[in-house]
Amino acid sequence: VTVTWPDGGTRIIHFHDGKPAGSDSSDEFRFTREGSLNMIRIGVSERFEITDQLALGN
């Protein structure tokens, strides 16, 4: 999944078997799941909420 910011910057979040697996950042990657929602944190300032539907392309 590619997230694009208004300034044109991007963050790529990789999924494996439908679960968050990493990103293109060298900062710490961690996630929790709540139902079909993946709550992802990268470093101390980035937070993303990505649904299974988006991650799986459904």
- Please state, as a whole number, how many other Cβ atoms lie within 10 Å of the Cβ of residue 53: 10
pLDDT band at 4 (very low <50, low <70, confident <90, very high): very high
| Structure confidence at residue 58 (pLDDT) | 74
- Is 46 in a helix, a strand, or coil? strand
What is the pTM (predicted TM-score) of this model? 0.89
Query: What is the reported pLDDT for 57?
Result: 86
8-58 pLDDT, tens digit per residue, is 999 999 999 989 999 999 999 999 999 999 999 999 999 999 999 999 887
Q: Number of C-alpha atoms within 13 angstroms, CB side, residue 21?
A: 8
The whole-angstrom separation of Cα 23 and Cα 41 is 10
Asked if residues 11 and 56 have their Cβ atoms less than 8 Å apart, the reply is no
What are the angstrom distances between the C-alpha of 36 and each of 8, 9, 11, 29, 31?
A: 28, 27, 21, 19, 13
